[in-house]
A and B are shown apart, each in its own frame.
Chain A
């Protein structure tokens, strides 16, 4: 069965960095685009970033562009997001999600990992 397992969350001070990982199994990883989506306290779901199936295309929400970098390693069936220059407003549960058709049609989600940015 399809599984997405996030890791790497924790507490960081503003301005510091964290790297999240999402390990996938149960499907042909290299055939699907992968996204990071976050749920912030009181604000709902916010799309963060997308990496295409072969890693050649990457897109970012304006709120994270220039600070976050999404990447993938198809040999390890893992997608990453490197989060630099963290801000308090980046505090959220971060989910990775599989895109079934390349247009943000998320058919499977991970369980999420909590990132807390606090002085």
Chain B
């Protein structure tokens, strides 16, 4: 089974840059894509990155995504941090072996 592992939490100061990692095991990012979702307390998730590094319209260009096939990992980078970026962030991919969707465990971002 494809499993995605994220750090439980990260914290950074306003205006700084933070990177959240997502490491895959039991599957390969090379054969599928990675998405990133933001979920604020009490709200539904919203997509901030799709297809590894594509930003949906309306998402600030402070958000960027990348993948490293050799390390089987993906990263979400948020620059110029704002207090409104404080949320849980989830990476997500697809297990082509069994057609199951997989989520990482989520990373709580604190901006202080």
User: Residues of A with Cβ closer than 8 Å to B?
Assistant: 35, 37, 39, 43-47, 50, 57, 59, 61, 95, 100, 103-107, 109-112
B65 CB within 8 Å of chain A: no
Instruction: Check B94 against A44 for contact (C-beta < 8 Å).
Output: no
Instruction: Check B94 against A95 for contact (C-beta < 8 Å).
Output: no
Given contacts A45-B106, A106-B35, A109-B46, contact A59 B99 (CB under 8 A): yes
B39 proximity list for chain A (CB < 8 A): 39, 45
Count of inter-chain pairs, beta carbons less than 8 A: 62
- Nearest CB in chain B to that of A110: its residue: B44
Instruction: Check A45 against B103 for contact (C-beta < 8 Å).
Output: yes
Q: Which of B15-23, B66-74, B75-83, B85-93 contacts A (4 or more CB under 8 A)?
A: B85-93
Q: Chain B binding site: helix, strand, loop or mixed by DSSP?
A: strand
Given contacts A45-B37, A103-B94, A104-B94, contact A95 B99 (CB under 8 A): no
Instruction: Check B88 against A44 for contact (C-beta < 8 Å).
Output: yes
User: Residues of B with Cβ closer than 8 Å to A?
Assistant: 32-33, 35, 37, 39, 44-47, 50-51, 56, 88, 90, 92-94, 98-106
Question: A45 is contacted by which of B50, B51, B90, B100 (Cβ under 8 Å)?
Answer: B90
Given contacts A45-B103, A46-B103, A47-B102, contact A104 B90 (CB under 8 A): no
A46 proximity list for chain B (CB < 8 A): 103
B102 proximity list for chain A (CB < 8 A): 47, 104
What are 29 A-to-B residue pairs whose CB atoms are below 8 Å? A35-B101, A37-B45, A37-B101, A37-B103, A39-B39, A43-B105, A44-B103, A44-B104, A44-B105, A45-B45, A45-B106, A50-B99, A59-B99, A95-B44, A95-B45, A103-B94, A104-B35, A104-B92, A104-B94, A104-B101, A104-B102, A105-B50, A106-B37, A107-B47, A107-B50, A109-B46, A110-B44, A111-B44, A112-B44
